[in-house]
A and B are shown apart, each in its own frame.
Chain A
Amino acid sequence: MSLVFAALVVWAAGWWINVRLANGPSADSTVVKILVPAIFGLTVVVIWELLVQGFEVNPVILPAPSAILERLLVEGPRLWADFHQTIIKGAMSGYVIGGLAAFCVAVLADRSDFLTRGILPVGSFMAALPIVGTAPIFVKWLGSDWESKAAVVAVMVFFPILVNTVAGLRDTTVMQRDLMRTYGAGYWPTLFKLRLPAAMPFVFNGLKIATTLALIGAIVAEFFGSPTVGMGFRISTSFGQLALDMVWAEIVIAALAGSTFYGVMTLIEKRMTFWHPSQR
C-alpha cells in the first residue's frame, strides 16, 4: 500500500512542478516547452511502476516499466530488424507511394471541378474501409512480405493527403490568380509558381496526419500474415507467448518512431512554409 501512496505523492509532485513551470516567467522558452511534457511523461511512468509493484500485478497482464526497459536494452538487434522491416520497408514505401498517388490525383482533379466532386466522396469511402478487412485481402494479393503492408499503408494515407492537397490548391485568392494572368503565365507556370507553394501548408497538414496512419497500418497489417520479422509480427507472437514486456518494448519503439517521423515532417514544414502566419 505504501507504494500506492508513493504513486499518489509522485502524481501530485509532478503536477505541481508542471504548474510552476507552465505559468512561470520562462514558460515560453524551448527548454520549458520540452520539460513540461517530459516531466508529465516521466510522472506517468513512475506511477505505473509504483502501482504495478504496489498491487502486485501479474506481469502476464501488465509488465512494469523496468521490465520493459530491460527488454529494450537486451533485444536491440531484434528490435532493429523489426523496425527495418515494418517501418522502413513497409510504412515508408507505402507512405511515399500513397502520397505521390494522392498528389498526382489531386493535381489532375484540380483541372476539373467535375472530377473533384466525383473523387472526394469516393475517396472518403475508400478511407472508411476498415483495415481489419483490407489487410487480409492485400496479403492474399501481394503475399506476406512488406509489399502487402506498403499497399495497405498507401490506401490508408491516400485520402487524407488527397483531400488536403485539393483544398490547398484551391486556397489562392482571385487577386493572386489574376496577377499571374497579367504576367501571361499559363496553367503550368501558375501551378508551379503560385498554387503549389500556396498549397504547401495544407499539403503538410495532410502529410503529418498520414505519418501516424502509415505506422499503424503497417503494424496492424502484419497481424494477418508476415515473414517472421516485423513489429506487428513481434507484437502478436510475443502476446501469444505471454511475453508482454516484449509487446510493450515494441510499442515504445512504435511511439518513438511515429513521433520522430511526425517531428521530422514538422521541421520540413517549418522550412518550406516559413512565410505562413502559423509559422511566424
Chain B
Amino acid sequence: MKGALMTTTTNLEGIPMMKKMMMAAALATGLGGAPAFADGHANSVTLQLQWVTQAQFAGYYVALDKGFYEEEGLDVKILAGGPDIAPPQVLAGGGADAMLNWMPSALAAREKGLPVVNIAQPFKSSGLMLTCWKDTGITGPQDFKGKTIGVWFFGNEYPFLSWMSQEGISTDGGEDGVTVLKQGFNVDPLLQREADCISTMTYNEYGQVLDAGVNPDELVTFKYEEQGVATLEDGIYVLEENLADPVFEDKMVRFVRASMKGWKYAEANPEEAAGIVLDNDETGAQTEAAQVRMMGEIAKLTAGSNGALDPADFDRTVASLLAGGSDPVITKAPEGAWTHAITDKALN
C-alpha cells in the first residue's frame, strides 16, 4: 500500500531543463542566420495554408493534381493549417516558402517585425459576413449595440474591430456596446442562441447554418463588402529577404503562374475541383456537398482577379484598418508590403 497510487491523468508536463536544452539546440541549428528556404532547392516550394484542407484552397490542390506545378518544373508541398498554426510563424521559422494569409493579419505581422510581402492576390472580394437572427430586431449596424456577436479571432478579428470602430460602437459590452464572444470553430453559438450574430464566411459557415435547417428568411446578413469595410483576404505572402534571391524569385514566378492556372480551372470546373479537394482531405470528414457549395462560393470571390494585386484594393484595406480608432490594427501605412514583381513576370 506504500503510496502505490499515483493516479494522474492528462496534461502532465515534462522537465523544463530538458525542454530548454532541446530548444536551445534546435534554435542553434535551425534559426541562427540559416537561409530561409524550406529546403534550399531551386524547384521545391512549400505552401502553408491558413486552415484545414477545404475548397477555400482549391486552386492550389487543382494545380497539384492536374500537373500544373509539374509543367513548371516545380515540386510543391502543401501544408494544411489549423486552429493552432499561425502561418506567419511557420514562415518565420523557415518551415514554408510561402503562406496564405488575410491582408490585415499580414500587415500586423509586418508591424510586429516579420517583413512579409504580398506577391499575389487570387481573392478579389471578401467572403466575410455577419449572420444574425432576424427576430433579434437587428436591421443595421447601429442595432448591434447591446447585442452579443461572435468573432473568430486568430487574425479574423481585425476587419470586425475596424468596422465597429468606424461605426463608433465599443466592443466592451454593455448597453451601448457590443459583447464580443470568441467563437469556436462552428456555428453553434448562433443555433443555440448564445449569440445574436456570428461571423460566417459566405462559402462555409453560412452554408452550415442553412444545413442546420434554418431558412434564409429567418436570418439577416451583413456582408463586409456591402458595408464598405471589407479587407483583402487570401493572398500569397513570402518573406522580403527571400525575394532578393533570384533563384527564389524565379520559382515563385512559376509557382504563381501555375497556381493562378489552377484557380481559373477550379472556377470553371467546380465539381471536379471539389472532388480533388476531397481526395486531398486526410481527415475523411469533409462531405462532397459542402465542398461543392464552397467551391461555388469561392469562385465568386476569385472571379475578379488574375492574381495581381490591385493597388486600389490595397489602399482601401489599409484605410479601413487605419480608421480603427483607439485600437488600430496597424499604426501607420505600410511600405513595401506588396510587389508586382512576381505577377508581372508570371502573367505576361
Spell out A's residues near B (CB within 8 Å).
4, 40, 44, 47-48, 51-52, 55-62, 127-128, 130-131, 136, 139-140, 143-144, 156, 159-160, 163-164, 167, 171, 202, 205-206, 209, 212-213, 216-217, 220, 222-228, 233, 236-237, 239-243
Contact = CB atoms under 8 A, between A and B. Distances in A.
A160 to B, nearest CB: 5
Contacts of A57: 27, 31-32
Interface in B134-177: 153-155, 157, 171
A39 to B, nearest CB: 13
B16 A44 contact: yes
B24 A240 contact: no
Nearest to A230: B182
Given A131-B10, A136-B186, 10 more contacts: A40-B17, A48-B20, A60-B92, A60-B109, A205-B3, A225-B184, A227-B179, A233-B182, A237-B182, A241-B112
A32 B6 CA distance: 28
A143 B3 CA distance: 40
Interface string B105-128: 100110011100000000000000
Interface in B1-43: 1, 3, 5-12, 16-17, 20, 23-24, 27-28, 31-33
B228 interface: no
**What class of interface size applies to chain B in its complex with A?**
35 or more
B8 A47 contact: no
Contact of A164 (B7, B9, B184): B7
Query: How would you classify the secondary structure of chain A's contact residues: helix, strand, loop or mixed?
Result: helix
B113 A144 contact: no
A244 B31 CA distance: 17
Nearest to A170: B1
Given A58-B92, A225-B181, A127 B5 contact: no
A228 B11 contact: no
Contacts of B33: 55-56
Contacts of A144: 181-182, 184, 189, 194
27 contacts: A4-B28, A47-B24, A51-B24, A51-B27, A58-B31, A59-B113, A60-B89, A60-B92, A60-B112, A61-B92, A130-B10, A144-B181, A144-B189, A164-B5, A167-B1, A167-B5, A213-B9, A216-B11, A222-B182, A223-B84, A225-B183, A226-B181, A227-B179, A228-B182, A233-B153, A239-B154, A240-B154
A241 to B, nearest CB: 6
A122 B69 CA distance: 53
A143 B7 contact: no
Contacts of B89: 60-61, 242
A209 B8 CA distance: 6
A133 B105 CA distance: 28
Contacts of A226: 181-182
Nearest to A239: B86
B65 interface: no
A220 B6 CA distance: 23
Interface in B42-97: 83-84, 86, 88-89, 92-93
Contacts of A51: 24, 27-28
Given A56-B33, A242-B112, A160 B20 contact: no
A57 B23 CA distance: 12
A212 B12 CA distance: 8
Contact of A61 (B3, B7, B93): B93
Nearest to A127: B9
Contacts of B1: 167, 171
B23 A62 contact: yes
Given A55-B31, A237-B153, A241-B108, A156 B113 contact: no
